[in-house]
A and B are shown apart, each in its own frame.
Chain A
Amino acid sequence: MLQEESDLSLIIAQIVQKLKGSNLYSQLERQAWASLQRPEIKLESLKEDIKEFFKISGWEKKLQNAVYSELSVFPLPSHPAAPPEHLKEPLVYMRKAQGSWEKRILKSLNSMCTELSIPLARKRPVGEQKELLNKWNEMGTDEPDLSLFRPVYAPKDFLEVLINLRNPNYENSDSLSFRTHLGLIQVPLKVKDIPELKECFVELGLNIGQLGIDDSTQVPPELFENEHVRIGQKVLAEQDSAAAQQYIRQGSPTALRAELWALILNISSQPEDVLYYEQLKTNVIQHDLLVDSLIYKDVKLTASNDDYYFVFEDYLYQVLLCFSRDTSVLSHFAFNSASPPKSYIRGKLGLEEYAVFYPPNGVIPFHGFSMYVAPLCFLYHEPSKLYQIFREMYVRFFFRLHSISSHPSGIVSLCLLFETLLQTYLPQLFYHLREIGAQPLRISFKWMVRAFSGYLATDQLLLLWDRILGYNSLEILADMWCTYTYSTNVEYLL
């Protein structure tokens, strides 16, 4: 009991600490000062009156949403004596594996750099800056020569690394027993089994209405859809993040989705946010990074060739180029097992004073990275809002899909969950695939790494991402694949 209490006060202290530096805090302060003018605020009951005022004016709700947002993102505090690496990743062997993987990526990047003799970063001449500014809304029309650039890595390279992960403390004897895991992932992480999943994802049960299933043409809308839409509108009117997150577990109506996601992610387009985005845009105009070419190449290879997302090509550049310059993204590395790569000013290799993070946001894009943004273009059309939503989605969810960690939503756990479910509940399919030399994970891995973007029709994909937001977890990716397998994909695979 005492432990819980002290944990709670620790959490509260952390959140208060975080919020104190935020814009919301200064806004609340200003509001409180301004409210002193109001007649209903009396000196004797100052605290209560101001609290009441906040409640009525909706500011309390905003604060609630902010707190809820922090709770969703920030991991629970661990043992007070634990070093900060443990927050990133508690298991040593995972940390080591991530570290060596990062070294490889950076080496690859540096060698490409030396081969092509292109600097990692350079300042653009004024003429070029002007040109880029003019072309900002149609960067897709540019056809730079990207033939020499290669993506730094592709999901399949990453899969090889995961397959070779081993826990040095775990006895992986050669003799087969019924405990042997026959899949590709050979680390003993705890993943949920079906009863636990059922408990966790209770709103996805058969007896509960779902959008995407129970709103099909055969089902009369009175049974589920109408009521669900009405509740959705109410949730939006209340502007309650937690309620929205609960609501969206059953799927979001198309017309409400953009607002609901913004509410859950606690994104509201304040003038400061727009200004911040404009600042990033200026950074893009002034400096050219090698990573930009990688981004261009990725967009041209993936999203531009996609039947549906080709239309949004320009938006993708506007978001991704700014993303790579956004240093606020660095804060998520506190709970990401990955660490931002460092680069040194020319000639000062090894000297810490001359080290910078490269790229500025610490995220090196891989082949298919732009597909994280593409579905969002369906919902958001204003560049700064689109940007904010993507950034939030990345620091909450997507980063876990390409870093090695033991987190239950991390890609390693997802792979293991997928293989375990398949092996346990669809054993015939699993063994058949192994027989023909097609390990199931090799097929489904790229789907999971991209969170199915580009592999599912957009309406289905958005319904899937609804659930990711609703449950604040990526486990749904592994589960969805399993249930999907049973219907159409079996023919596709076989």
Chain B
Amino acid sequence: MPRECQRSEYHVFQPLTSSPQGYGRQDLSSENQNYKGHGLSKGKEREQRASIRFKTTLMNTLMDVLRHRPGWVEVKDWLRENFDHTYMDEHVRISHFRNHYELTRKNYMVKNLKRFRKQLEREAGKLEAAKCDFFPKTFEMPCEYHLFVEEFRKNPGITWIMKPVARSQGKGIFLFRRLKDIMDWRKDTRSSDNQKDDIPVENYVAQRYIENPYLIGGRKFDLRVYVLVMSYIPLRAWLYRDGFARFSNTRFTLNSIDDQYVHLTNVAVQKTSPDYHPKKGCKWMLQRFRQYLASKHRPEAVETLFRDIDNIFVKSLQSVQKVIISDKHCFELYGYDILIDQDLKPWLLEVNASPSLTASSQEDYELKTCLLEDTLHVVDMEARLTGREKRVGGFDLMWNDGPVSREEGAPDLSGMGNFVTNTHLGCVNDRKKQLRQLFCSLQLQKKASS
């Protein structure tokens, strides 16, 4: 199993049920990693639970959400450590898939997507396969170095970006235009390897840099979108309506390749830029972004963009569907990073299995707490949902072993015929009202059936 160098913050919760079983915490086997594990345990069928216990080390949004959830109680000590090798009861839930790195590590994702694309071309033709062209040309280093050089020579003068596969927050990323630059880098890394053999060779990917990003106010930005996957087989995925656009603090220009601050829009990197003012926050909520686009482009163009973004989620998840170890205990909340170029084409930058839950502003705090609350609603430890819902709070059911359509009467501006997907990214999120209505009607149904 590959190594994961990421240090994780961990938080865990588990239910106290009348039966002594069922704790959730995921910690993979000793040789490797520490995952951020969330464990949940469901009570037996519809049994009324006394309370659900949880424990977390994070003192931020997640802690607030868990503390406020009715019936959930914090505990101070642990009961078990290794869940990778233990049998989990049916009512246990875990917030990660064992091998999510197939999607979240850049080199694996690229491999899976390439393979999926080939398969799609065989089965459904070139046109369908072209729908997978949302990731820039990527080569794994050092194993695909020669393939990379070939591609490099075919397109002289373009910019490439080198990213470490397993690091986050923008660390270790640099841009280059000449082979000479990476030859130097190769020499550096090789020499350091010789000295310290116990430190593993870090894998990198070289990716074509998108030179014409969409700019707002002269600034580059990327989108952070949240996708909740409840299962891979069958594929059930929910899309959260809210998200944000993260802006680079400095103005975009291709002249300053060395200026890491311009090109990387991670808040973590932006925070260290000399221009950064904490009050600014440099984030726009997606609603604002969508409105901005709507006042600048035709409604059809905006609809098409958002359809293309939906396509990214679906295809990327489908590409790892057969590879991810299917486990009915698992669910996962992904943070997708999407970049839009000037032709209004979305590109997938990466998928994060542990999106940052730290809030950078009041608005951000509200978004993340609502996101987590709604995630817990969908996971449904309290067993309130029927399983046929298409919307829970801010989450819309995007894929349920097939596309999910919106209600009747929705306008179809994308020209796809009568079918309109049930996604509302960047749209109004009246989640409180919807949750009230939902839980009220569920209660009524329960009363009626009992």
Q: Which residues of chain B are near A217, meaning CB under 8 Å?
A: 428, 430
Q: Which residues of chain A are near B296, meaning CB under 8 Å?
A: 258, 381
Contact at A377–B217, with CB atoms within 8 Å? yes
Contact at A254–B288, with CB atoms within 8 Å? no
Partner of A311, one of B247, B250, B411: B247
Q: Mark B191-221, 1 if CB is under 8 A from A, else 0.
A: 0000000000000000000000000111100
A314 within 8 Å of B (CB atoms): yes
Complex Cα–Cα for A469 and B296 (A): 20
B298 within 8 Å of A (CB atoms): yes
Contact at B291–A304, with CB atoms within 8 Å? no
Contact at B218–A314, with CB atoms within 8 Å? yes
Given A137-B251, A217-B428, A307-B363, does the pair A313, B295 have CB atoms closer than 8 Å?
A: no
Q: Which residues of chain B are near A313, meaning CB under 8 Å?
A: 217
Complex Cα–Cα for A281 and B129 (A): 50
Given A311-B216, A377-B217, A458-B291, does the pair A141, B282 have CB atoms closer than 8 Å?
A: no
Contact at A304–B251, with CB atoms within 8 Å? no
A357 within 8 Å of B (CB atoms): no
Q: Give A228 Cβ to nearest chain B Cβ, in Å.
A: 14
A257 within 8 Å of B (CB atoms): yes
Complex Cα–Cα for A381 and B288 (A): 16
Q: Which residues of chain A are near B295, meaning CB under 8 Å?
A: 254-255, 257-258, 378-379
Q: Which residues of chain B are near A212, meaning CB under 8 Å?
A: none
Q: Which residues of chain A are near B250, meaning CB under 8 Å?
A: 138, 141
Q: Mark A356-394, 1 if CB is under 8 A from B, else 0.
A: 000000000000000000000111010000000000000
B281 within 8 Å of A (CB atoms): yes
Q: Which residues of chain A are near B430, meaning CB under 8 Å?
A: 217
Q: Give A76 Cβ to nearest chain B Cβ, in Å.
A: 35
Q: Which residues of chain A are near B218, meaning CB under 8 Å?
A: 137-138, 314
Q: Which residues of chain A are near B292, meaning CB under 8 Å?
A: 378
Q: Which residues of chain B are near A458, meaning CB under 8 Å?
A: 288, 291
Could you tell me which residues of chain B, from 392 to 413, have a CB within 8 Å of some CB in chain A?
409, 411
Q: Mark B295-308, 1 if CB is under 8 A from A, else 0.
A: 11111000000000
Contact at A254–B280, with CB atoms within 8 Å? no
Complex Cα–Cα for A377 and B284 (A): 15
Given A310-B280, A314-B218, does the pair A459, B291 have CB atoms closer than 8 Å?
A: yes
Could you tell me which residues of chain B, from 249 to 282, have a CB within 8 Å of some CB in chain A?
250-251, 275, 277, 279-282
Complex Cα–Cα for A257 and B294 (A): 10
Q: Which residues of chain B are near A254, meaning CB under 8 Å?
A: 291, 294-295
Q: Give B311 Cβ to nearest chain A Cβ, in Å.
A: 23
Residue with the highest number of chain B CB atoms closer than 10 Å, among A140, A255, A377, A459: A255
Complex Cα–Cα for A189 and B297 (A): 45
Partner of A304, one of B280, B297, B428: B280
A75 within 8 Å of B (CB atoms): no
Q: How many residues of B contact A (CB 8 A)?
A: 29
Q: Which residues of chain B are near A312, meaning CB under 8 Å?
A: 217
Which A residue sits closest to B424, measured CB to CB? A217
Q: Give B244 Cβ to nearest chain A Cβ, in Å.
A: 11
Partner of B294, one of A137, A255, A308: A255
Given A308-B288, A311-B217, A315-B217, does the pair A138, B294 have CB atoms closer than 8 Å?
A: no
Complex Cα–Cα for A221 and B294 (A): 17
Q: Mark A25-41, 1 if CB is under 8 A from B, else 0.
A: 00000000000000000
Complex Cα–Cα for A378 and B290 (A): 12
Chain A, interface SS category? helix
Q: Give B281 Cβ to nearest chain A Cβ, in Å.
A: 6
Contact at B217–A221, with CB atoms within 8 Å? no
Q: Which residues of chain A are near B277, meaning CB under 8 Å?
A: 304-305
Which B residue sits closest to A140, measured CB to CB? B251
Q: Give A73 Cβ to nearest chain B Cβ, in Å.
A: 25
Q: How many residues of A contact B (CB 8 A)?
A: 28
A220 within 8 Å of B (CB atoms): yes
Complex Cα–Cα for A103 and B363 (A): 43
Q: Mark A131-169, 1 if CB is under 8 A from B, else 0.
A: 000000110110000000000000000000000000000
Which A residue sits closest to B288, measured CB to CB? A308
Complex Cα–Cα for A489 and B236 (A): 41
Contact at A141–B251, with CB atoms within 8 Å? yes
Complex Cα–Cα for A254 and B280 (A): 26
Complex Cα–Cα for A138 and B299 (A): 30
Q: Give B289 Cβ to nearest chain A Cβ, in Å.
A: 10
Q: Which residues of chain B are near A310, meaning CB under 8 Å?
A: 280-282
Q: Which residues of chain B are near A138, meaning CB under 8 Å?
A: 218, 250-251
Which B residue sits closest to A315, measured CB to CB? B217
Given A138-B251, A141-B275, A255-B299, does the pair A311, B291 have CB atoms closer than 8 Å?
A: no
Contact at B298–A307, with CB atoms within 8 Å? no
Q: Which residues of chain A are near B216, meaning CB under 8 Å?
A: 311
Contact at A308–B284, with CB atoms within 8 Å? yes
Q: Which residues of chain B are near A308, meaning CB under 8 Å?
A: 284, 288
Q: Give A166 Cβ to nearest chain B Cβ, in Å.
A: 41
Which B residue sits closest to A257, measured CB to CB? B295
Given A141-B250, A217-B428, does the pair A311, B219 have CB atoms closer than 8 Å?
A: yes
Q: Mark A296-321, 1 if CB is under 8 A from B, else 0.
A: 00000000110110111111000000
Which A residue sits closest to B297, measured CB to CB? A255
Q: Give A302 Cβ to nearest chain B Cβ, in Å.
A: 12
Residue with the highest number of chain B CB atoms closer than 10 Å, among A307, A308, A378: A307
Complex Cα–Cα for A308 and B282 (A): 9
Q: Which residues of chain B are near A381, meaning CB under 8 Å?
A: 296
Q: Give A217 Cβ to nearest chain B Cβ, in Å.
A: 6
Complex Cα–Cα for A188 and B428 (A): 45
Q: Which residues of chain B are near A221, meaning CB under 8 Å?
A: 411
Complex Cα–Cα for A459 and B293 (A): 12
Residue with the highest number of chain A CB atoms closer than 10 Å, among B250, B277, B291, B299: B291
Contact at B291–A305, with CB atoms within 8 Å? no
Q: Which residues of chain A are near B219, meaning CB under 8 Å?
A: 311
Residue with the highest number of chain A CB atoms closer than 10 Å, among B280, B282, B363, B430: B280
Which B residue sits closest to A308, measured CB to CB? B288
Complex Cα–Cα for A353 and B307 (A): 66
Q: Which residues of chain A are near B251, meaning CB under 8 Å?
A: 137-138, 140-141, 314
Q: Give A236 Cβ to nearest chain B Cβ, in Å.
A: 13
Residue with the highest number of chain B CB atoms closer than 10 Å, among A310, A314, A378: A310
Q: What are 28 A-B residue pairs whose CB atoms fall within 8 Å in the complex?
A: A137-B218, A138-B218, A140-B251, A141-B275, A220-B409, A221-B411, A255-B294, A255-B295, A255-B297, A255-B298, A257-B295, A258-B295, A258-B296, A305-B279, A307-B363, A310-B281, A310-B282, A311-B216, A311-B217, A311-B247, A312-B217, A313-B217, A315-B217, A377-B217, A378-B292, A378-B295, A379-B295, A459-B291
Q: Which 6 A-B pairs have the closest CB atoms?
A: A311-B217, A138-B251, A254-B294, A312-B217, A254-B295, A310-B280
| Inter-chain pairs besides A137-B218, A311-B219, 14 sampled, C-beta below 8 Å | A216-B428, A254-B295, A255-B294, A255-B297, A258-B296, A304-B280, A305-B279, A305-B280, A307-B281, A307-B363, A310-B281, A311-B284, A378-B292, A381-B296
